Structures are given as structure tokens and as C-alpha cells.
């Protein structure tokens, strides 16, 4: 297994991810592009001390961005939707 700090990058805190957290007890995380579902599950369980039921992943393509007349592109990344167990709870905004 890779180091858990290499697998987990950052939480994706958007309105949609916060709604998923409240309604379906899911957490949305940005993870390493080479990480598989088993590595993500083990890293989340070890780092946050919660029980993980299911992990879904998706590769997100970068978006085109403009700054004046210059055009660029954001980086591609991998996003993981982690479903927590019924007794597990994780709230990123409460820890701030």
C-alpha cells in the first residue's frame, strides 16, 4: 500500500458534496490519479478512523481557463466518492 498522504490529496468541498454528505453519508475527496479503490478505502479508514462501505471513483478532465488573451488548462484529477458506514460520521467544516 502507498503512504496514505500520497493517496489522499484534499476534500472537495462544494455544495453538491456537502449535500451528499448530509443525505447519503458520503464524502468527496480528491485522490492520487494512480490510486485504486482498495488503496483509497484503506487510506480513509486509517486516516479518519471510520468504517467505509463503498468507494466510487471518476477521472475528471482539466478545464480550459483564460487570463486575458492567454489560454491555459487546469490539471486533470481523480475524484473519489466514499460512502461511510451507518455509525461513522465525518464533517470537514466542523473541524475548522
In tens, the pLDDT along 28-80 reads 999 999 999 999 999 999 999 999 999 999 999 999 999 999 999 999 999 99
pLDDT, tens only, 2-12 = 789 999 999 99
The Cα–Cα gap between 86 and 93 comes to 20
Instruction: Determine contact, residues 12/76, Cβ cutoff 8 Å.
Output: no
Sign of CA dihedral 40, 10, 26, 49: positive
In angstroms, how far is CA 28 from the centroid of its own chain? 4
- Residue 95 scores a pLDDT above 70: no
CA distance 78 to 60: 6
- Cα–Cα dist 67/60, whole Å: 22
pLDDT at 93: 75
Amino acid at each position: 500500500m502507498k503512504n496514505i498522504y500520497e493517496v489522499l490529496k484534499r476534500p472537495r468541498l462544494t455544495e453538491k458534496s456537502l449535500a451528499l454528505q448530509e443525505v447519503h453519508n458520503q464524502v468527496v475527496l480528491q485522490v492520487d490519479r494512480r490510486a485504486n479503490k482498495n488503496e483509497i478505502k484503506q487510506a480513509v479508514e486509517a486516516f479518519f478512523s471510520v468504517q467505509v462501505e463503498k468507494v466510487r471513483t471518476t477521472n475528471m478532465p482539466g478545464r480550459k481557463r483564460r487570463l486575458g488573451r492567454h489560454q491555459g488548462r487546469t490539471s486533470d484529477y481523480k475524484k473519489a466518492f466514499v460512502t461511510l458506514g451507518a455509525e461513522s460520521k465525518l464533517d470537514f467544516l466542523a473541524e475548522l
